Structure 1
Amino acid sequence: RGEVDLCFVGADRVTRNGDTINKVGTYLKALAAHDCNVPFYVALPFTSFDPETQTGAEVPIEERSADEVTHMQGITENGARHIVRVVNPGSPAANPAFDMTPACLVTGYITERGLMGVQDLADAPASVATLERLPQQ
C-alpha cells in the first residue's frame, strides 16, 4: 500500500559476502521488503562484521529448546501455572534463535564509517583491527 519507505534492522554478525545473521524474523522482513520493492538496510557496528567468515552458510545457528514451540503455558482459574502440549507427542520441531538473510536481499549496510555496499564489505581488510585504524571517510 506504499506506507513503508524503507526497512532497517540490526545485525549480530555480517559475513564477508554480506550475509546477515540476526534474530529470527529478519529474513522474513527482508523478503517482505524485497517483494514490496522497499529498500532493506542492515545497521551494524563494524565489530559485528566478520571478515574471516565468507558466507552465512558457515555460521552455526543456535537452536533453542523445542519445548518453546511445542508447549504453551498459562494460568488456571485457581492461579496455578499450567503447561500444555500443543502438538502431537513426538512431533518434530525446530526453534532457531537466529536466521540468515542473504546479501542479495540487502540494499546496504549502515556503519559508523558510513553507508557500505556488499562490494565494500568484500574489499574490506581481513581484520576488524585494521579497519579500526583506517581514517574515517
Structure 2
Amino acid sequence: KAIRPVRGINEVVEDIREVVLDPRIITSFGDFTIQDRELLEQMEINETCFYQGQLDLTYDNWAADDVLAAVLPEGVETAASYSLIGHIVHVNLREHLHEYKHVIGEVLLDKIKQARTVVNKVDTIDSTFKLFSD
C-alpha cells in the first residue's frame, strides 16, 4: 500500500489531518520557503504543529521497482519493462538480468495483484494471423 501523504488522525473531528512529509526535504517549519510558511500560517499552521515521528514501513509499502532495486546487487540496473495482459505479465528482461529472473518474477507476482503468470518475452512476436467471422 502506498503511504497516504494526508490522512485523518481523529475519527470524531474529521477536519483534523496529518501530513506526512519526506524527511529528506522537510524536517522543520523553517525548511519551507517564506511564501509557503506564510500560506501555512494563514491556515493557522505554524512551527508548533510540526513534530517528527516514526513511520514503520513494511514490504507492502514499496512498489515492485523499489523492491527490485533493494534486493538485486548494487550496480545492477533494474529497469525491466513489462506489460500486463489479463493475468499474464510479459517481461522484457535485458540479458544482464537473466540470472535474476526468478526473483524478478516472484516480486512481480507478489506486487501486481491480478498477476498469476510471469513470462519473459525472449524474441519479438511477429506472426501474422487473420480472424474470420461468420
The structure showing larger relative contact order (alpha-carbon pairs under 8 Å, at least 6 residues apart) is 1
Greater strand content: 1
Larger radius of gyration: 2
Output the TM-score relative to the length of structure 2: 0.19
